């Protein structure tokens, strides 16, 4: 589990293809302070397991399914990436709970400077936007952000100068793809709201009464 607060920008040092998967070696410093084999590190929001490390880098294996669903398949040597270690029990939770399991890809459709903030409009599928609400949480490339506005096929987030300066969203251009993770709470709510009941007539007085609402 992660918080969505990026600890440092790493860089891709080596990419070794192995059939449908690959081994990624990442140059880093801060996230290596307590590194160990088996530890979890979020790379651009994707939860990966450390398989090897040195004083200046760590390696992770990325399987075919992860490559298919995330931006990691398009990484190049020298490219900057967002890094965050798994949260420790007792740590402050400054962002929101992020699992590192990507729900889909988004495309940066618009990037505007507004006063002190950087505003991004990200295009995504309607399968993702149905979970979004204004002022709700979302993770973009592993960064915990707040939804400013949501539409049928995109959403907007505002990024403060600090976040723009210490993450990849500060320099990623329009047209770039990003990893998007929806707040898990919204998916749990959907699961609990029995879809079969909803199909029979939506949220009615009877529907709410049978679930304990008076």
What is the per-residue pLDDT across 43-89, written as a single tens digit (0 to 9) for each? 999 999 999 999 999 999 999 999 999 999 999 999 999 999 998 87
| Residue after which a domain boundary falls, among 85, 117, 142 | 85
Same domain, 25 and 70: yes
SS3 labels along the chain: CECCCCCEEEEEEEEEEECCEEEEEEECCHHHCCCCCCCEEEECCEEEEEEEECCCEEEEEECHHHHHHCHHHHCCCCCEEEEEECCCCCCCCCCCCECCCCCEEEEEEEEEEECCEEEEEEECCHHHHCCCCCCCEEEECCEEEEEEEECCCEEEEEECHHHHHHCHHHCCCCCCEEEEEECHHHHHHHHHCCHHHHHCCCCCHHHHHCCCCC
- Count the domains in the chain: 2
Same domain, 110 and 77: no
Tens digits of per-residue pLDDT, 148-181? Answer: 999 999 999 999 999 999 999 999 999 999 999 9
Q: What distance in Å separates the CA atoms of residue 25 and residue 11, rounded to the nearest whole number?
A: 9
Classify residue 92: in a domain, yes or no.
no
Classify residue 192: in a domain, yes or no.
no
Phi-psi region of 73 (alpha: psi -120 to 50; beta: other; left: phi over 0): alpha
Same domain, 62 and 116: no
| Residue after which a domain boundary falls, among 85, 118, 149 | 85
| Residue after which a domain boundary falls, among 54, 85, 116 | 85
Measured over the CA atoms of residue 98, residue 129, residue 123 and residue 147, the dihedral's sign is negative
182 has pLDDT over 80? yes
Classify residue 137: in a domain, yes or no.
yes
Percent of the chain surpassing pLDDT 70:
89
Q: What distance in Å separates the CA atoms of residue 158 and residue 145, rounded to the nearest whole number?
A: 8
pLDDT at 132: 93
Classify residue 205: in a domain, yes or no.
no
Same domain, 57 and 114: no
Same domain, 108 and 164: yes
Classify residue 128: in a domain, yes or no.
yes
Same domain, 79 and 110: no
Same domain, 69 and 23: yes
The CATH code of the domain that includes 155 is 2.40.30.20
Q: What is the mean pLDDT of residues 16-21?
A: 93
Percent of the chain surpassing pLDDT 90:
76
pLDDT at 74: 96
Same domain, 155 and 122: yes
Classify residue 206: in a domain, yes or no.
no
Classify residue 154: in a domain, yes or no.
yes
Same domain, 67 and 111: no
Predicted TM-score (pTM) of the model is 0.86
Tens digits of per-residue pLDDT, 33-47? Answer: 999 999 999 999 999
- Residue-range definition of the domain harbouring residue 43: 8-85
Task: Using pLDDT thresholds of 50, 70 and 90, give the confidence band for residue 208.
Answer: low
pLDDT at 168: 97
Classify residue 94: in a domain, yes or no.
no
List the one residue out of 41, 78, 45 whose CA is nearest residue 61. Answer: 41
């Amino acid at each position: 589990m992660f918080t969505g607060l990026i600890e440092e920008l790493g860089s891709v040092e080596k990419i070794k293809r192995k059939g449908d998967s690959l081994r990624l070696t990442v140059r880093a410093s801060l996230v290596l302070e307590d590194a160990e084999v088996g530890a979890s590190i979020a790379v651009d929001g994707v939860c990966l397991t450390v398989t090897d490390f040195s004083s200046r880098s760590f390696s992770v294996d990325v399987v075919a399914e992860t490559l298919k669903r995330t931006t990691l398949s398009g990484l190049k040597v020298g490219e900057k990436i967002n890094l965050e270690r798994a949260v420790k029990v007792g740590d402050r939770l400054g962002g929101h709970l992020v699992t590192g399991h990507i729900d889909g890809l988004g495309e940066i459709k618009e990037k505007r400077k507004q006063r002190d903030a950087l505003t991004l409009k990200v295009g995504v599928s309607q399968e993702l936007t149905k979970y979004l609400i204004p002022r709700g949480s979302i993770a973009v490339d592993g960064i915990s952000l707040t939804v400013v506005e949501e539409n049928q096929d995109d959403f907007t987030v505002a990024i403060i100068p600090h976040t723009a300066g210490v993450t990849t969203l500060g320099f990623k251009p329009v047209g770039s793809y990003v990893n998007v993770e929806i707040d898990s709470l919204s998916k749990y709510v959907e699961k609990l709201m029995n879809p079969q009941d909803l199909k029979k007539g939506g949220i009615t007085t009877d529907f709410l009464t049978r679930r304990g609402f008076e």
